[in-house]
Amino acid sequence: MTDTQGSIHDQWSSRFVFILAAIGSAVGLGNIWKFPYITGENGGGAFVLVYLICVALIGVPIMMAEILMGRRGRQNPINTMRTLVAAEGGHPVWRGLGWLGVVAGLLILSYYSVIAGWSMAYVFRAGAGLFTGADAKTISTLFEDLLQSPGSMLAWHSLFMIMTVAVVARGVRSGLERAVTLLMPALFALLVILVLYALYEGDFTRGSAFLFTPDFSKVFQHCEVEAAIKTCRFTGEPLLIALGHAFFTLSLGMGAIMVYGSYMPSNASIARATLAIVLADTLAALLAGLAIFPIVFANGLEPASGPGLVFQTLPIAFGSMPGGQVFGTLFFVLLVFAAWTSSISLIEPAVAWLVENRGMGRASAALVAGMLAWLLGIGSVLSFNLWSGESFQFLGKTWFGLVDYLAANILLPVGGLLIALFAGWVMSRASTLDELGMGDGLAYRTWRFLVRYISPWLVMIVFFNTIGLI
C-alpha cells in the first residue's frame, strides 16, 4: 500500500482502514469474555484500577512504539525487525521479537477459537429462544451442558478456525475490516442496551461498586482454606494478570499491531490512531463489566465463577428483556464477528512469515498455521471436561489455563518490553521523532520518556515481583 501516490480518497481510505483493522483486532473476546471474568476472579475495583494504569502508562506508549516500528519496517514482524536492526544497528538477537509474536499468536488463537466457538453455539441457543424466561439456575445448567459435550465444542472450534483460515487464505480481509464500520457500532449499541437493562433490573449499585471501588486488601491477598483453617498471604499475581491483560486486550506485544502499522500511510498520526484504538477498547471492556456485574449480584451469582461468566449472566438479561430473543441472537453474532476480526490478526504474523520467508502460498500458509492452532486448541476443549481433573493439571492449571497464562501473562509482556526497549534505546531519537511526526514538543518527549524509563521498568518490576524476587 503506498501513500505517496493516488488520489486523496485512496489515502483517506487506507488511513481509515488501518484504524478499523486495528480496532477490529483490539476489540474482541478480551473485552467481553476475558475482562469481566478475570476482574471477578481478582476481586474487582483494585484490579480494574491497576489494569487502567497499565493501559495508560504501558499500553499507550508501547502501542505507539509498535505501530511506528511496523510502519518503518513495512514488512512482516520478523523481516521488519531484521530491517530495523540493520538500519539502527542493534544486535541480531532483536529479531527474536518477531518469533515471539508468531508463537504467542498461535498459542492465543488456539484457545481464542474455542471460546469463539462457545459464542457461536450461543447464537443458536439465543435464536432458538432457550433463554426466554429462564432463571439463573437454568442458564448455568445450559452452560454446563455445553462444557460437558467436548464433541460439540470441538465442532464449533473447528468451524471458527475454518472461518479464520478462509479469510486469511483468500486475502479478503479488507472486506471483513470494512464491515467493522457497521458492526462495531452495533456491538457498542447492544452493550449500552445491556448496561441500561442492568441499571433497571440488576443490582447496579453493587455491580458498579465492585468494578470501581478499589479495595487493595482484597486483591493482593491470597487466602486458602484447608482443614477449616484459613490462611492468607500477600500475592502480586493480580498485578501480572492486569498487566498481561493490558497487552492482550490491546493486541500488543506480538506483532499484530506491527503488521497493521506496516500498512499505515506515513502522513497519518500514530498518536491519534493509538488514542482512538485504546479508547474504543477500554470503553468496550468497561461497558461489558457494567452490563455483567449488576446481573451477577442481583442473581446471587459468584463473580469469580471463571471463563463461563459472560455466558451465565447476559443470557439472563436476554431471557427477561422485551425483544431479548432478537437482541441476544444479534449480540452473539456480533461477538463472533468481533472475535473473527481479532483471530485473523492473531494468525497473521505466522502466515506472513510462512509466505514471505518460507515461500509458501497464502492459502497453504494459512492452512498450516490454522492446523497448528487447531491442534493446540483441542487441549483447551478438553480442559473443561475430560482433562479438568487434577491428574491433567500442571502448576495447578489446566491446559487452557496454562496456555493462556504463558501467552498472555509472559510472552506478551516480554514482547512489549522488547518493543519498548527497542524503540526507546536502540532506535535513534531522530528515527522515532521522524516516524511519529508530531514534532519535538511535549507530546513526543513524554512518549520517549515513558517508553525509555517508565514502561520497561514497570513491566520488569511486575515480573520480578511475581516470581518472588521483589
- Stretch near ligand PHE under the rule CB under 6 A, chosen from 201-209, 226-234, 329-337, 342-350: 342-350
191 binds, among ligand PHE, Na ion, none (CB under 5 to 8 A by kind): none
* Neighbour-count burial for 360-397, b at 16+ CB within 10 Å, e otherwise: beebebbbbbbebbbebbbbbbbbbeebeeeeeeeeee
**Does residue 379 belong to the site contacting ligand PHE (CB under 6 A)?**
no
Cα-based torsion angle of the residue sequence 286, 287, 291, 292 in order, rounded to the nearest 10 degrees: -40
Residues in contact with 305: Cβ distance below 8 Å, sequence separation at least 6, in sequence order: 37, 40, 312
Residue 227 gets the label, from left (phi > 0), alpha (psi -120 to 50) or beta, of: left
Looking at the Cβ atoms of 113 and 140, the one nearer to ligand PHE is: 113
Least gap, CB of 10 to ligand PHE (angstroms): 27
**Does residue 345 belong to the site contacting Na ion (CB under 5 A)?**
no
Going from the C-alpha of 303 to that of each of 91, 294, 373, the distances in angstroms are 47, 10, 30
Looking at the Cβ atoms of 244 and 328, the one nearer to ligand PHE is: 244
Looking at the Cβ atoms of 110 and 345, the one nearer to ligand PHE is: 345
Looking at the Cβ atoms of 346 and 365, the one nearer to ligand PHE is: 346
Site track for ligand PHE across 100-139, x = CB under 6 A: --------x-------------------------------
Question: Exactly one of 24, 28, 73, 98 binds ligand PHE (CB under 6 A); which one?
Answer: 28
Looking at the Cβ atoms of 14 and 249, the one nearer to ligand PHE is: 249
**Does residue 11 belong to the site contacting Na ion (CB under 5 A)?**
no
Footprint (CB under 5 A) of Na ion, residues 268-327:
281
Footprint (CB under 5 A) of Na ion, residues 232-261:
249
Least gap, CB of 164 to ligand PHE (angstroms): 12
How crowded is residue 434: how many other Cβ atoms within 10 Å of its Cβ? Answer: 12
Q: Which residue has the cell 476482574?
A: 39
* Neighbour-count burial for 64-88, b at 16+ CB within 10 Å, e otherwise: bbbbbbbbbbebbbbbbbbebbeeb
Structural contact between residues 63 and 277, judged by C-beta atoms closer than 8 angstroms: yes
DSSP string, 292-304: HHHHHHHTT--TT
Structural contact between residues 463 and 411, judged by C-beta atoms closer than 8 angstroms: no
Q: Closest by alpha carbon to 339, among 139, 149, 111?
A: 111
**Does residue 254 belong to the site contacting ligand PHE (CB under 6 A)?**
yes
**Does residue 25 belong to the site contacting ligand PHE (CB under 6 A)?**
yes
Looking at the Cβ atoms of 140 and 345, the one nearer to ligand PHE is: 345
Cell of 328: 441476544
Q: Which amino acid is at 163?
A: M
Going from the C-alpha of 198 to that of each of 45, 191, 202, 314, 454, the distances in angstroms are 18, 10, 4, 10, 38
298 binds, among Na ion, ligand PHE, none (CB under 5 to 8 A by kind): none
Looking at the Cβ atoms of 81 and 116, the one nearer to ligand PHE is: 116
Nearest residue to ligand PHE, scored by beta-carbon proximity: 30
- Stretch near Na ion under the rule CB under 5 A, chosen from 20-28, 105-113, 159-167, 396-404: 20-28
Residue 307 DSSP one-character state: G
Q: Closest by alpha carbon to 73, among 345, 413, 431, 355?
A: 431
Question: Exactly one of 248, 293, 318, 374 binds ligand PHE (CB under 6 A); which one?
Answer: 248
Site track for Na ion across 197-236, x = CB under 5 A: ----------------------------------------
Looking at the Cβ atoms of 281 and 435, the one nearer to Na ion is: 281
Q: Which parts of this chain interact with Na ion (CB under 5 A)?
A: 26, 30-31, 249, 281
Q: Which parts of this chain interact with ligand PHE (CB under 6 A)?
A: 25-26, 28-31, 108, 248-249, 251, 254, 256, 342, 345-346
